[in-house]
Amino acid sequence: MNPYLDIHPDVQQALSKGRAVVALESTIISHGMPYPQNVQTALAVEAEVLANGAVPATIAIMNGRLVVGLNRQAIETLGRLGTQAMKVSRRDVPFVVAAGQTGATTVAATMMLAAMAGIRVFATGGIGGVHRGASESFDVSADLQELAQTPVAVVCAGAKSILDLGLTLEYLETHGVPVVGYQTDHLPAFFTQDSAYRLEHRLDSAHDIARVMRAKWAMGLAGGVVVANPIPAEFALPRSTMDAAVEQALSEAAAQGITGKASTPFLLARVCEITGGDSLTANIRLVLNNARLAAAIALAYQGFLAESG
């Protein structure tokens, strides 16, 4: 066992007994939305996982410890810290641990810590990807490389709509990461149900997705799986509305020289302001939707493992 890793007793018991566990990230708490909605949403997502038969494990670094399964006090702490909390990706983990600091984990770092604990399914809002203008900036999210090497299935509403979706798909293809559309033939664009990009693979049940996961890892194939789960239609925003909001936010970010890790929180916050808060409501609904599907996939995957002994 990793000497820096602390697993919540409820999560450890579930893993030991072969029960379904769903990992959850913490940057959605600190950087994804304002307080107190961030804490309320984090607790609601955990409750959604529990209600659908799996055990939630929200992941972060607390006082230099890799924590898999935050208690309520830790979630509240991250929620109140907000963007003052460190945003921790894979490269940052050893520095935060060595300094005994507290930080919220991105998709990449959450995948890494989930894999350390033996968790194979992770629910989030949207993955990072290739940023617009990457041909000049080389700004590509570490989430994509983590997906290429870490055996965790990530249930998301596609890639964040502030990104270059076409190049994101190309990058994933190059690195052999399967992108599965759940009951859809097109890549969801976070706040909207679809995009102009058609997917190679569609599966219509959690059982079928879990079967692909088992086959991939049983063959020794490295890396994860992206499960693209569209936001429910009743909460989706019009594509034209989102496109206009994203373009305005991108223009403002460029004018202010905002780049790197600061860009995603800035862009999401500005899109929320431009849409009058509609994007925040949609964000919460899509995360809950992803938690439900992730729980179903985790249950099906554990069922396959039990059958194989």
> What is the mean pLDDT of the segment spanning 219-225?
97
Cα–Cα dist 100/86, whole Å:
12
- Pairing, β 179-182 against β 65-68: unpaired
From 48, 87, 160, 216, active-site residue: 160
State how far the alpha carbon of 297 is from the alpha carbons of 44, 56, 257, 294, in Å. Answer: 19, 13, 41, 5
Please give the torsion angle defined by the CA atoms of residues 30, 32, 36 and 39, in that order, rounded to the nearest 10 degrees. -70
Among residues 1, 2, 81, 53, the alpha carbon closest in space to that of 301 is found at 53
Q: Between helices 263-274 and 239-256, what is the axis angle to 10°?
A: 130
CB half-sphere exposure, 282, CA atoms < 13 A? 28
In angstroms, the CA 209 to CA 297 distance is 7
Confidence (pLDDT) at 154: 98
CA separation, residue 108 to residues 63, 112, 262, 266 (Å): 20, 6, 16, 19
Could you tell me what percent of the chain has a pLDDT over 90?
77
146 is catalytic: no
User: Which residues are CB-neighbours of 14 under 8 A, at least 6 positions away?
Assistant: 20, 21, 55
| Lowest-confidence pick of 23-27, 114-118, 187-191, 273-277 | 273-277
Q: What span, in angstroms and rounded, lies between the C-alpha atoms of 132 and 168?
A: 10
Q: What is the pLDDT of residues 237-278, one digit of tens each?
A: 888 888 898 889 989 988 998 887 677 778 878 888 888 878
The model's pLDDT over 64-90, given as tens digits with 9 standing for 90+, comes to 999 999 999 999 999 999 999 999 999
Q: Which domains does the chain have, with CATH numbers?
A: 5-304 (3.40.1790.10)
Predicted confidence (pLDDT) at residue 132 exceeds the cutoff of 70: yes
Of residues 25, 46, 48, 76, which has the active-site annotation?
25
In angstroms, the Cα distances linking 89 to 7, 97, 113, 216, 288 are 19, 12, 11, 25, 23
Cβ contact 139:104 at 8 Å = no
Beta bridge partners of 226: 154, 179
Alpha-carbon torsion angle 268, 75, 116, 264, nearest 10: 10
Of the pLDDT bands very low, low, confident and very high (cuts 50, 70, 90), residue 279 is: confident
User: What single-letter amino acid sits at 289?
Assistant: N
**Of the candidate ranges 197-201, 218-222, 248-252, the one whose mean pLDDT is the lowest:** 248-252
Q: Is 25 a catalytic residue?
A: yes
Which three-class secondary structure string do you get for 103-122?
EEECHHHHHHHHHHHCCCEE
Contact by Cβ (8 Å): 31, 104: yes
